[in-house]
Structure 1
Amino acid sequence: MLVFGETGIPIIVFPSTLGRYYTPKDLGFIHSLQELINSNKIKVYCPDSIVNQTWLNFNISPEERIQNHLAYEQTIIKDVIEFAKYDTENEKVILCGYEFGAYYSLNLAFKYPDLVKGIYAFCGIYDMKQFILGHYDDEAYYNNPLDYIPNLNDPWYLDQIKDMSITIVTGNFDNHLDESKRISQILNQKKIGHTFAYIEGLGKNWDKAREVFQFYVSNL
């Protein structure tokens, strides 16, 4: 994990699909937030991703993919989120990322809303059924946002989720555009306030992605 800054609001930046912990830095995403980092407004944490061992590992069974994902999720909670909270003396964190990074951000936030104050989800992938080839059980359901969020009615979850700052961003070159639209529709149906943005050109290259990332995260 890479860490940038001394103190401030803890922001966890997940890598994009098949990215690594250094990918946000290499693509200039961290540099785009340098002013906020230098002024101690934010502290940024960049954990690794193991999506090639979870949802995208077609050499193991769907059940194993989900179990590996759950193990990764617990590692993020215990070793990244809890550490960032302690390190910055904040009660909650902000999660953000592109593609699978957006999935991690949104899924973690909705499953553990007591840990998260806001998310920025860019060009997210939210339908995990496309990666588990017909397999479906409770653990698949509870990690598939398009399925479990519509049925989420527990006030303990909903009240905290409604207190979050939620930003969903997509664009015309986003291969999963319809999934972002569907998430926004579900949030509207649940009366969960959020920002939904459709950006022309987003999803085509990393220059545009970095520009959009900087615009939204810099205005937290």
Structure 2
Amino acid sequence: MQETLTNFYSHHLGHDVKILTFGTHGQPLVIFPTTLGSYYEAKDRGMVESLRWFIERGFVQVFCPDSINDASWYGDIHPKFRVLRHIQYDKFLTEEFVPQIRNNTPSGRIACCGISFGGFSASNFAFRHPEMVSHLFCLSGAFDIKSFMHGYYDDNVYFNNPVDFMPNADHGDLWNMKIILGTSNWDICLDGNLKFSEILRKKNIPHWLDVRGDIEHDWPLWLEMLPHYVSML
């Protein structure tokens, strides 16, 4: 399983973004880390190893970009600038990084996966840019960032908060995306997933709400989920 570390310079962010890549070809699968997780988290936690069979056979090529959550949502700055910093990260993804990998597949679209708060990163990207995404896997995902805003709200918050903008979204590709919301009975994000599934249901957007048994919001749950979801590619 080939592993490559890249320092990808982003003009939008003004610095390098470290990206770990596993495999050489196949459906591009971007894995976003948890809250303050880094580009090596999916490898260190066994997530990449759980996908070895798919990577070695060229079914998927896995990309693990670093996050900037410590400088955006968790930064010691005014909420207005937290969301503006995230918008810069979104531009890094849409204008710099994803265009480099999306043509690895005939559809020109990537699959993306987010774990816990990474579920926000993945879902916000996918739902804002559905023309770039074929599959979305949210593992105990979060979908609401208002708790980081401390009462501040503007259009930038609205358009980067899936629970707010999705009820009014009308991009045709949203109905073509394969969406899985994975959670469990003991998941601290269960309620958020149930509510977000209802938003999608009311819009008749096809998706699978996968509620697993009595297992907590932690890596054993996610290591069980992701190989199953990837097998459905």
Query: Scaled by the length of structure 1, what TM-score is found?
Result: 0.93
Using the alignment, how far apart are the partners of 2:74 and 2:215 within structure 1?
23
C-alpha displacement at 1:180, in angstroms? 0.9
Question: What is the number of residues matched between the two proteins?
Answer: 215
Corresponding residue number in structure 1 for 2:225 = 212
Inter-CA distance 51–173: structure 2 relative to 1 (3 Å threshold): farther
**In 2, distance between residues paired with 1:73 and 1:203?**
30
Match of 1:15 in 2: 33
Equivalent position of 1:103 in the other structure: 120
Counterpart selection for 1:197 from 197, 210, 215: 210
- 1:207 positional shift: 2.2
CA distance in 2, matches of 1:50, 1:172: 30
1:120 matched to which residue of 2?
A: 137
Q: Which runs of 5+ in 1 are unaligned?
A: none
Q: Distance in 1 between matches of 2:174 and 2:215?
A: 27
Shift of 1:170: 1.0
Quote the offset at 1:90 in angstroms.
Answer: 5.0
Shift of 1:101: 1.4
Q: Name the aligned partner's letter for residue 7 of structure 1.
A: H
CA distance in 1, matches of 2:231, 2:34: 19
Gaps of 5+ in 2: 1-18
Partner of 2:180: 167
CA contact (8 A) 1:11 1:45 kept: yes
Aligned to 2:52: 34
Q: Check conservation: 2:188, 2:217, Cα contact below 8 A.
A: no
**Bigger helix fraction:** 1
Partner of 1:134: 151
Provide the C-alpha distance between the structure 2 equivalents of 1:149 and 1:38, rounded to a whole number of angstroms: 36
Give TM-score, length-normalised by structure 2: 0.88
Which position in structure 1 is the counterpart of 2:10?
Answer: none
1:24 to 11, 23, 42: 42
User: Following the alignment from structure 1 to structure 2, what is the Cα–Cα distance between the partners of residues 205 and 176?
Assistant: 11
Residues 20-52 of structure 1: CA distance to partner in whole angstroms, max 9, x if unpaired? 000001111111111111111111110001111
Q: Is the 8 A contact 2:138 2:181 kept in 1?
A: yes
**DSSP-derived class of the 2:151 partner:** coil
Deviation at 1:107, TM superposition (A): 1.0
Taking a change above 3 Å as real, the CA distance of residues 129 and 184 of structure 1, as seen in their structure-2 partners, is same
In the alignment, which residue of structure 1 is the partner of 2:73? Answer: 55
